[in-house]
Each structure stands twice: as C-alpha cells, then as structure tokens.
Amino acid sequence: MNERELIARAAAGDSEAQRALYDAHVDRVYRLAYRLAGDDDLARDFVQDAFVRAFQRLGEFRGDSALSTWLHAITVSVSLNGLRKVKRLRSREFPLEDAEMIGTTPRRADPDLRQRLHAAIDNLPPGYRTVFVMHDVEGFTHEEIAHSLGIQPGTSKAQLFRARAKLRHALADFAGAWSA
C-alpha cells in the first residue's frame, strides 16, 4: 500500500493506517522537536500534539507537498508555540559524560566554546534558530525548509546566513579557535 492510500485510510479513521503513517515519520519528527525543545518531556508533548493535529486535519492534506514536509511544518509550528508558552528556555547544562558522539568528528570543540555556541544558538531569533537547526543541525535542504515554514528558499538561505553571522559575532572571543 503506498502512502497516498495510507493517508486516505488514516483520514477515514483506519487505526492501522494511522499507526503505519506514525511509524514512518515519528523518528524524524521527534528529532526535529527535540532539537528545537532541548528537552525530552517537551519534545514528547510536541510530537504528540503534532500527530494529533495532523491526524485530525489529514482530510485537508491535498498532497501538494510530501506528507513529511506537511508534518514537519506542523511540528515546527507546535514546537515554537509551545516554547513561546513556556516563555523561557530551560537553563542549559553540559555534563561531559553526556557528550556521547555518534561516529567521529575530526575536530572536537572546547567545552567552554561548545557551551557558548549552544547558548548563542538558544539566543538566536526564533526564525533564524529554526532555519539553522533544520539546515545545519538536522540536514534539511533549503527547499524542504521553505516548504515547511511557508517561506521562499532564498529567505531560508538569507536567514541561515544571518544566523551564522550572529553566531560568529557571539563567539568573537574565541576567534581563531575554529582554524586550529
């Protein structure tokens, strides 16, 4: 059964189709929500909320874009609204034992620098932060981001450029550390 048929059945209330769609997309939706929230409880809330809203509106999905793109748009919207409601991001902690890496990274950032970087990302304006997280952290393309956020790909590129510039400025004290 292809995704189009699954969507039609899920929209009609078929629980097996709903579960199949959930299984197909939940991992990436959770990753995105977690990257934006930085907290497991919040990420779970956002994912649950996003899927509930998505299933309730599945009948409105016209298939102009991929279902994944539509789901990511809902996830970003739910996450940003949720974070706005909390009105403050949790204070960050970076225990070194939690800094487990998947794969290998050629250069490891100094813990202080990394902490400053993460704080600087937290402090980006929401639009810049969302584009930065989606592109540089989660690997979305500018076209995917544009579809998810309802903006032009050029706007996504411009926001990423400005986000990086702000981060470079915020980390000016460490200038040169990335050249080493």
Residues in touch with another protein (CB under 8 A): 11-15, 18-19, 22-23, 26-27, 30-31, 34-45, 47-49, 51-53, 55-56, 58-59, 77-78, 81-82, 84-87, 90, 99, 101-102, 105-109, 114, 117-118, 121, 132-133, 136-137, 164, 167-168, 175-179
| 40-56 vs 67-86: helix crossing angle, rounded to 10 | 130
- Closest approach, Cβ 18 to another protein, in A, equals 6
Residue closest to 67 by CA, chosen among 113, 124, 109, 17: 17
Which of 4, 90 has the CB closer to another protein?
90
Q: How far is the CB of 42 from another protein (least distance, A)?
A: 6
Give the distance, in angstroms, between the CA of residue 134 and the centroid of all CA atoms in the same chain. 5
Specify the residue for token string 């078929």: 14
Burial class (CB within 10 angstroms; exposed 0-12, middle 13-18, buried 19+) of 10: buried
- Least CB distance from residue 16 to another protein, whole Å? 11
Q: Shortest approach of another protein to residue 150 CB, angstroms? A: 15
